[in-house]
Structure 1
Amino acid sequence: MKIVLAPMEGVVDHLMREMLTQIGGYDLCITEFVRVVDQKLPARVFTRLCPELLQGGKTRAGTPVRVQLLGQEPHWLAENAARAVELGSPGVDLNFGCPAKAVNKSRGGAVLLKETETLYRIVKAVRDAVPAQFPVSAKIRLGYDDTSLALDNAKAIAEAGASSLAIHARTKSDGYRPPAYWPWIAKIKQQVKIPLVANGEIWNAEQALLCQQQSQCQDIMLGRGALAMPNLARHIRDQAAPLPWPEVLALLMHYSEFEIAGDKGKYYANRVKQWFSYLKLQYPEAQQLFSQLRLLTKSRDILQLLEQQRSD
């Protein structure tokens, strides 16, 4: 079994990857997406989103971090994929699953699931541009409005030369509403020969096992569940008990100190609130704390509240 930490825009930044991989259990991380339009991007764009490129393409815990690209132009995606591996990314991931309206409106992410031929051309161009020893992976949903193109899209991506395919077992229209339709991944597996990674609605070890059984995939990708239970990968892999709340609070403090120092607190308030929106699903203490935290807008006030909670 391989466990992959999913890309989550605006939440799973390099600090979160650092922290979760330090806890352990992950075989691979995927970055937040690098948006590609009509140019070859400078190195600083890649290293800003993926500073792990400056340390061998791995977190300090040694977990590989693969750069993710999002766009619709095969040529420019290929150019930027080549640059990503030149800069040290151990492969490239292609985003065909993002459900965000702003992204889809600009013809990126899940909206491309309506265009099977475009998926093929993008993956083929990127595969041709990236040296053979570097994997080219992709992530899709089951479709945009429905599942009518699910098999065709997966086959096109495989035929274009993708190394593996992660499948979020819902359509774009489904959003994140349960359930995830894991048996659909098993249908795709019967038609596609490349390795598949199952994703969607995995919150604990029992659901991970059920996902593996219904999807017929050993490999899984964790997203929101990893934020709700910071040691979810270890919980699944090693049957570890959920991380105790005092240890979660310590992680929050650690994240806070580095996030504020590293980015001058610009995005900290929003990011920590987003993290709490998941933590409160697992921890009653987070639910109680969030009722106070959600009203705060300044980084120092949030940090003070966390310090107070930790000392109580």
Structure 2
Amino acid sequence: MTAFALPRFVAPLLRHSLILILIALLVFFSIQAPAFTAPTNLLTILESSAVLLIVALAMTLIIASGGIDLSVGVAIDFGAVFALIALKDFGAPWYVAIFAALAGAALVGAFNALLIVGLGIRPFLATLGTFFIGSSIQRIYTDGGGPIAFRRMEQGFRDLAAGNIAGIPMEIVIAAVVLVGYYLLLERTNFGQRVHAIGLQPRAARVAGIRVGRHVAVVFILAAASCALGGVILAATLRQFTPLAGQSYLLDAIAATFIGASIHPRLRPNVPGTLLGVLFLGVVANGLNLLGLDFNLKSALSGLILVGALALAGLRGRAG
């Protein structure tokens, strides 16, 4: 498609359009619903966005490598159920339960890696298959999909959702640690640079000597394992395993990643952009609730935001 020139002042506006719209939404909700700016409500937005941020960061890593993962919800659920099995059936300490959650979710990533790298199946189809298989396993394990409660949960594990550090809720602390870890991995390591290279030009990456298959496998395993932390938070919050609970984060994670890519100079998935995308969705959902509007509008508005962000990104890309 032919590139065209934009006025000098328009390009910066397009690049920072997501930030400008987010600021506009903050002002709008602050005026229409004064309770929106209350510290407790702002903290609520951050807490409710913690699990989504963890999943969206995993999706950012995968999309940066040129793939997609429709099974992140399965990884979340496997993390939750493996943690509860360790706690309930084996009486393991909370830190062992976390390790079990990471291992359980990593199995999902390893299965995806086997399908994609070992068998050459495209990521979309491979992870779609994993989604169906993982969902069926959960229904079978729970005799049809009923929750498995564990009310006498060890306090150390419970504190992962109900505890705090210096007044900051643990969900936010965990999400912040994952955020920093992903930023350093993608932006400050050779591995991250190779992942971006694979996502941009996989053939050129192979010619350059990058072991594409090995890197893609690590990406899917690491992303799935980090999603387990979201499952741990859900299990600690609800004190039970709820089958298929992780599936509700899939579309929002994809939306946050692509919305965030619109702020990158080369329109690439990036950690700061994903953070903004998650906050965007959190602000919209919270603001609509405070305004008393139909919560179902969230999906429509999120879709409009995604389309708008991609349209602006496409316009900026065409302008060169």
- Considering fraction of residues, name the structure with more helix: 2
Category of TM-score, reference length = shorter chain: under 0.3
RCO higher in 1 or 2 (8 Å CA, sep ≥ 6)? 2
For normalisation by structure 2, the TM-score amounts to 0.23
